[in-house]
Amino acid sequence: MTSRRSGRPGGASQSGRARHWLLGLLLIGAAALAWWWLAPQSIPEAVREHLPEPVQPAARNPVLYKWKDDQGRWNITDRPPEGRSFEAITVDPDTNVLPSGVAPEQD
């Protein structure tokens, strides 16, 4: 019974070593990506200045504007009307807001 060995010391082939190096580099890259994804504030400033700015979340408590139109109807918008008096309303996003409408008829 003979075993096949490569001519290299240690018995590892060159393609096997290349696969080990590639796997090692892949693992290091995955670890670096996970570190960056989970803790972006720990990235050095020299690297961080070349990265795109993160998207800021929407305002936690948005402001809406309540005003009356020429027909006397109340309007609520996300922008203040020009040339009209209005009331600024701060909305709690955890509140359930339903649109007004005509109630369905009861049988």
Tally DSSP H helices, then E strands, for the chain: 2, 3
pLDDT at 14: 81
pLDDT at 80: 93
pTM for this model (two decimals): 0.37
pLDDT tens for the chain, 107 residues long, are 555 555 555 555 788 888 999 999 999 999 888 877 777 666 677 777 777 777 667 667 788 999 999 999 999 998 999 999 999 998 887 777 676 776 667 65
pLDDT at 5: 55
Amino acid at 47: V
